[in-house]
Structure 1
Amino acid sequence: MNVGLAAQVLSKSVADMFKTLRKSKEKQDTSIYDDTTETEKFCRYFNYLFDCLNTRQLYEAEDKRNDAMLPYKSKDDLRLKWLANDFLTYLESWQNYAQTRTDLSRDERNKLTLSHQTIEGLKITVYSFLELIPFLLSLQGAKFVLSEKFNQDGVEIFFAKQRARCGRGDNPTAKQFMHNTQAIRTTKSLSFGSSSNIRKRKLSLNVDELSQPIRKKARNK
């Protein structure tokens, strides 16, 4: 599964679609969209969350006209307050509402919300982010923070290459692991595969090219 494509479902465009269809007067049967208010809110909240956690460049927000993708320059950033006050409260209220439905069984109540593991993962991510941004900005010389740099793509690539080198063996020894690591370094195979589910990045390397080939040195006879 491509995570980047899957995340695009929870976008502002999808939320706007629900809102437009609810208010549409051209189509006769729009009653099926009457109960999509919370779905629209869910898409907007997670779209904004993804934008807050994926600021990649200094001027990307201007290019895309999206203030949520501005670099973090202050510990009092409004996005941090939104994460702490709005997003976390949204998750808590949603979870509490589902658990108060006494007319449903336990399994049915659990199906009304995200899984417990997903909610805990979101909370850990947001709480860590709220602590990390002010700390980094307090360091001497730190002028801004790009949140997209907090990712584990490099780790995922590394272990994907490890699994590929192990073949059918899924329980390598420490010696095999170190041997595979050395082979990965030697072959420079830490690259993005065509089927990887992470965002591809362009590496900018400054290579000095000589206009003339190097002259061969005369051998001492």
Structure 2
Amino acid sequence: MVRGVATDLKFPLAGFATLSITADFLYPIIWKAIRILETSAAQLKVLILTCDGASANRKFFNLHGQVNDFVYFTDNPFSEDGRKIYFVSDVPHLIKTTRNCFSNSFSHLNTRKLWNNGKDMSWIHLLTLFEQHCEMSLYTPCPKLIRSHLDLTPFGRMKVNLAAQVLSSTVANALEMMYGDNVSKTVNFLRIIDKFFDCLNVRNLYEGRNKRNPNLNPYTNINDERLQWLTGDFLSYFDLWEQSVLQRPGAFTNKQREGMLLSRQTLTGLKISVLSIVACVKFLLEIGAKFVLTHNFNRDPLEQHFGHYRHRAGDNSNPTVYDVRHMMTTMRAVGAQALAP
């Protein structure tokens, strides 16, 4: 799917029926699409490729660098101005995987025991807050926090709003007010993730003003404090966290130390997205954009597109390839996805 950064363009370019996909099959498909967009009559300029954190997508990124390189951009051979193409790991998806890692810390699957500089970062802290001060209380410090945020179902794990609301500064403030220094590392973690999501989820020109949250303001200056915070304080937070785990005294195995951190895939996705989106924002502002909305770098329209398939199929939860092809053609021709003549 093609999505405009500065326009409302959302167009399903092509669909492929597969049982599974690997990076070597994905490579020619993606580059053929880029060639068509850049060299056809449309003359669209491709700036970023956004996808989720599936292993085939990560391997596709790595195909554009040397072995063990950290790859978040590549040269665009079809551009006349030497423009680069940046890789972005979908930010809403990263919020969900971060929440999932955190939820398994001392709880749920119990596969992680997040630890940072002498203190645990536990999902139990949130459960305790909810059960002691929110569930049966007339005054609740977290009005939006409900049982669905904490007792995750397979469907609940797919909802971005549940992840964003539980990894929020509101929950962090409530934890700090009720339990003080005992949960300081959990509080700091929640605040950092909340600011990260706000900075990379700017939707319109007025949300920051209306919500009195400067992190939701549009980007208008390449020297914006948020861009410096993302590439500086945010990324260094995870580097310092990893150093504290590696230097933690005790006879811990490598697997146990890895369980004290977020998953390696999530950490890599966070780093790729931050470096790529910051570079794209600066590039757009430098070539004359009056403002940049970072929400346009995610793949929400693609998720909505899949939702249209499920909706149009009626009671058929398993449409055939021919059904999907017909629905894609229909959606191209009518409604919000139609191209101007």
Report if TM-score (shorter chain) is over 0.5.
yes
2:325 aligned residue (168, 178, 181) = 178
Provide TM-score, normalisation by structure 1: 0.70
2:213 partner amino acid: N
SS in structure 1 opposite 2:223? coil
1:118-137 superposed matches below 5 A: 118-137=266-285
> What residue number does 1:76 align with?
223
The CA deviation at 1:150 is 1.8
The CA deviation at 1:159 is 3.4
The CA deviation at 1:13 is 1.0
CA distance in 2, matches of 1:64, 1:150: 22
> What residue number does 2:254 align with?
106
1:16 aligned residue (173, 192, 196) = 173
The CA deviation at 1:42 is 0.2
CA distance in 2, matches of 1:179, 1:64: 42
CA distance in 2, matches of 1:113, 1:97: 10
CA distance in 2, matches of 1:17, 1:103: 35
SS in structure 2 opposite 1:179? helix
SS in structure 2 opposite 1:36? helix
Per-residue deviation, residues 195-219 of structure 1 (Å, max 9, x unmatched):
xxxxxxxxxxxxxxxxxxxxxxxxx
1:131-146 superposed matches below 5 A: 131-140=279-288, 142-146=289-293
> What residue number does 1:52 align with?
199
> What residue number does 2:60 align with?
none
SS in structure 1 opposite 2:241? helix
- Are 1:7 and 2:189 an aligned pair? no
The CA deviation at 1:189 is 9.9
SS in structure 2 opposite 1:48? helix
Moved runs in structure 1, 4+ residues, more than 6 A? none
CA distance in 2, matches of 1:176, 1:169: 6
CA distance in 2, matches of 1:117, 1:130: 20
The CA deviation at 1:156 is 1.6
CA distance in 2, matches of 1:189, 1:146: 20
CA distance in 2, matches of 1:93, 1:54: 25
The CA deviation at 1:167 is 4.3
Q: Give ranges in structure 1 of 5+ residues lacking alignment.
A: 24-33, 191-221
Provide TM-score, normalisation by structure 2: 0.47
The CA deviation at 1:188 is 5.2
Contact 2:277 2:297 in 1 (8 A): no
Q: Comparing both structures, which one devotes a greater share of its residues to strand?
A: 2
- Are 1:115 and 2:272 an aligned pair? no
Per-residue deviation, residues 7-57 of structure 1 (Å, max 9, x unmatched):
11111111111211234xxxxxxxxxx431110000010111111112222
Per-residue deviation, residues 125-152 of structure 1 (Å, max 9, x unmatched):
1011110011010123x11111122221
The CA deviation at 1:160 is 4.2
- Are 1:86 and 2:236 an aligned pair? no
Larger Rg: 1
The CA deviation at 1:179 is 3.2
1:57-68 superposed matches below 5 A: 57-68=204-215
CA distance in 1, matches of 2:210, 2:328: 40
Q: Give ranges in structure 2 of 5+ residues lacking alignment.
A: 1-155
The CA deviation at 1:59 is 2.2
2:286 partner amino acid: S
Query: What percentage of residue pairs aligned between the two structures are identical?
Result: 38
CA distance in 2, matches of 1:69, 1:123: 20
